[in-house]
Copies of this chain bind each other. A is one copy, B any other.
């Protein structure tokens, strides 16, 4: 196979969950798809699957996309094979069936059309046995949901040409995937062998009544699962070994390989195995020290927990529950505003997260707005507006206008605090002025003036605030009435400096 085709149309042999996932991903990145299935009812099914994937796919990137591909359907595998530039097989996991269908399709497709199989565990040498031009065949094993997970395992058989793997790798990269070339044929490839080891251990534990499926899932998602989102077992164990990394880790935990910690027996920990593990993880570390890798691990562990917190799932639920208690404890500990009477309230402290920083290595401009929003939430809590109040009354403040002035910069790890001054309050409007300071030197690095409107969300119009809340806001406003109007308040963009 010397000529590599430009891939404009992906042919699918078989639909189902995997076929639907392939279709959604390819269409999204501008590739036409022709799906072939002997059952005509699968046309509606695959269109539904593509539609279902779209809301998530649409959020994967804001980068400009080519025009979406066009989906067509046929019950005639031959039509698909003649039109496709790349064929992906997704039929049931039965070797004789796959062999027969792959052989058929290979006789209708031009010899420079790559044919790949989504098989979870069958090996390419077996699958390509009866094909025409078997050199253009490989396994390309994706993971559910195919439209969101980037991994695809590429495995060649005895008769696969290296150029086939290279061209398949380029195509899958084009549609946003990470192609992992599996260099040896083994049942289950790499990923499913590791997944299957966990899965079988789970079945043993449930079978013996040690734990429920939920407890076993919890044993992963609150701990190792968070790490596995970006570092695998080997690199994680390299970190666990301290400054001497994997070698120390193997010395320390080597004996445990003889213990009955799983039903799976370990191989003998020979010197040559130790060397391979050490050399492999050193290559992964790529010159980065344990400290550097730990920092990277910690950064993503914190950031992922922030994400899960917003979905109230797994470790994010733990964090939410913790924060609810911390706010409650803090409210019980201090009478509202007393410590700050007569000064701007100091309601929020925060540390600049690495993911808040942009290409200029300073905190991105919209994060200033986020901190002023967090300060408003703290003010709301202090005057009695919490989740219960909002859901009970159906009323809450909406931000209607805000004006930010940037005066300095914030770097990763900087400790910051926000002070808040109420400029005016009436039954419907709340006019505030925030100042963002750097903790280390109290430098003023930004100001934020905001107008908030109290809204009845059901009626979608302005509504008066609860009198008890207004009394608290009035009391803060009165206490602050001696403060001068802040510099920058009432300013418009383009106005000359005072």
Contacts and interface: CB of A to CB of B under 8 A. Distances in A.
A201 interface: yes
Interface string A247-261: 000001000110111
Contacts of A121: 256, 259, 261
A174 to B, nearest CB: 8
A230 B225 contact: yes
Interface stretch (A5-13, A77-85, A272-280): A272-280
Given A121-B259, A197-B201, A149 B60 contact: no
A327 B63 contact: yes
Contacts of A218: 151, 178, 180, 232
A305 interface: yes
A63 to B, nearest CB: 4
Interface string A324-364: 01110110000000000000000011110111000110001
A216 to B, nearest CB: 6
A368 B318 CA distance: 29
A294 interface: yes
Interface stretch (A31-39, A99-107, A186-194, A475-483): A186-194
A135 interface: no
A426 to B, nearest CB: 12
Nearest to A306: B307
A149 B319 CA distance: 11
Interface string A189-213: 1111111111111111111011111
Given A198-B194, A200-B197, A229 B229 contact: yes
Nearest to A264: B264
Contacts of A177: 318
- Each complex incorporates copies of this chain amounting to 2
Interface residues of A, number: 186
A276 to B, nearest CB: 5
B216 A194 contact: yes
A384 interface: no
Contacts of A287: none
Contacts of A64: 326-327, 329-330
B262 A193 contact: yes
A322 B61 contact: yes
Interface centre among A56, A178, A203, A223 (most CB of B within 10 A): A223
A58 B351 contact: yes
Contacts of A303: 307, 310-311
A248 B449 CA distance: 57
Given A55-B413, A229-B221, A304-B304, A263 B261 contact: no
29 contacts: A17-B240, A52-B291, A53-B298, A62-B374, A64-B327, A144-B239, A149-B301, A150-B318, A150-B319, A173-B321, A174-B325, A176-B322, A186-B210, A187-B259, A190-B211, A196-B256, A197-B197, A197-B200, A197-B201, A221-B230, A224-B228, A225-B232, A230-B311, A230-B315, A303-B307, A303-B310, A365-B402, A424-B494, A489-B493
Given A216-B232, A224-B228, A307-B307, 18 more contacts: A60-B319, A121-B261, A150-B222, A180-B215, A180-B218, A194-B219, A196-B262, A199-B233, A206-B277, A225-B225, A225-B232, A296-B311, A359-B390, A400-B405, A400-B406, A401-B403, A402-B403, A449-B493
